Chain A
């Protein structure tokens, strides 16, 4: 009977360590973390934090990732480095995985988005 706690404990450790979005995690580390940082905290007022982004949970985040972004967040100020490069080479599946990973990490009320959501959102990008 005592063992059951041990098993539950062991299980919770294993499951906590496992991100369901393995590809998203890997792609984030390879493409995004050098600017937005591993912990999503960004860099001062040079690079916005992702862990507090208002775009968390929204499929429209895909537009920024696919097309890059320039001078929007920091408009009307003298900020530097206002540019994020585009990641147009990433496929819809890859971007979906990245966005799900970001949301999973920093959006408590996380709801998984699908490739369909992402493809839909892509049509609305300016």
Chain B
């Protein structure tokens, strides 16, 4: 009787342990092995100015996990929808100091830091929590590729740019760990769960 009980408790432990293991997020993109070490895909060089006109680089983001998207303020098509989902995420993570949001404009000509600042103010969000950044156009397009977001100029598209509405989750080391489709609100809850999971993984690692 006692033994049975222990057995069940043990099984239960095993089960929950397995479940926890499964709950680490995958590394998206190509993983190569060098000298027996796995090297996961990382996002490219960030060298952008925020709505406060301060420089933002990969190094500044090392202490945070962050949620990224690519957009432009005068975008008449999918951007408001994606922004709405970003806002939903923003509200979910507002009390988690480990998480930031970064929105890269793909229209730096029009989207100056001042304009981005207005945009952020109109959204009513905290400038330190949700960064809207602008930089060199070609560099931003290249950077978008490393986030697996296709972005390019296209006269045929509404607003003159074509881009996907993906929202991406990046870890402290710069790896892409999860994403949602900003144009499909039903994919947002999973990303919110993944953000919590990733954030907690750093807490348990004691980092």
With both chains docked as a complex, state the minimum distance between the C-beta of B189 and any C-beta of chain A, in angstroms. Answer: 16
| Distance, CA A112 to CA B106, complexed state (A) | 43
Q: Which of B44-97 contact A (CB under 8 A)?
A: 73-74, 76-78, 80-81, 83-84, 87
User: Does A80 lie within 8 Å of B115, measured CB to CB?
Assistant: yes
Q: Which of B85-115 contact A (CB under 8 A)?
A: 87, 115
Residues of A within 8 A of B73 (CB): 80-81
User: Does A85 lie within 8 Å of B76, measured CB to CB?
Assistant: yes
> Is B118 an interface position by the 8 A CB rule?
yes
| Distance, CA A37 to CA B83, complexed state (A) | 11
Of the candidate stretches B16-24, B31-39, B119-127, the one touching chain A is B119-127
Instruction: Give chain A's interface residue range (CB within 8 Å of chain B).
Output: 10 to 19
User: Does B87 lie within 8 Å of A44, measured CB to CB?
Assistant: yes
User: Does B123 lie within 8 Å of A43, measured CB to CB?
Assistant: yes
Of the candidates B73, B74, B122, B185, the one having the most CB atoms from chain A within 10 angstroms of its own CB is B122
From B74, B77, B124, contact of A34 by CB (8 A): B77
User: Does B81 lie within 8 Å of A37, measured CB to CB?
Assistant: yes
> Is A79 an interface position by the 8 A CB rule?
yes
Known: A34-B77, A34-B78, A85-B76. A79 touches B84 (CB 8 A): no
Residues of B within 8 A of A79 (CB): 118, 122
Instruction: Give chain B's interface residue range (CB within 8 Å of chain A).
Output: 10 to 19
| Distance, CA A28 to CA B83, complexed state (A) | 19
Chain B residue nearest to A79 (CB atoms) is: B122
From B76, B77, B122, contact of A45 by CB (8 A): B122
From A37, A45, A78, A80, contact of B84 by CB (8 A): A37
From A43, A78, A85, contact of B80 by CB (8 A): A43
Known: A34-B78, A34-B80, A37-B81. A45 touches B118 (CB 8 A): no
User: Does B124 lie within 8 Å of A78, measured CB to CB?
Assistant: no
Residues of B within 8 A of A34 (CB): 77-78, 80-81
With both chains docked as a complex, state the minimum distance between the C-beta of A39 and any C-beta of chain B, in angstroms. Answer: 10
User: Does A80 lie within 8 Å of B80, measured CB to CB?
Assistant: no
With both chains docked as a complex, state the minimum distance between the C-beta of A52 and any C-beta of chain B, in angstroms. Answer: 16
With both chains docked as a complex, state the minimum distance between the C-beta of B97 and any C-beta of chain A, in angstroms. Answer: 23
User: Does B78 lie within 8 Å of A43, measured CB to CB?
Assistant: no
| Distance, CA A81 to CA B107, complexed state (A) | 14
User: Does A44 lie within 8 Å of B124, measured CB to CB?
Assistant: yes
User: Does B84 lie within 8 Å of A43, measured CB to CB?
Assistant: yes
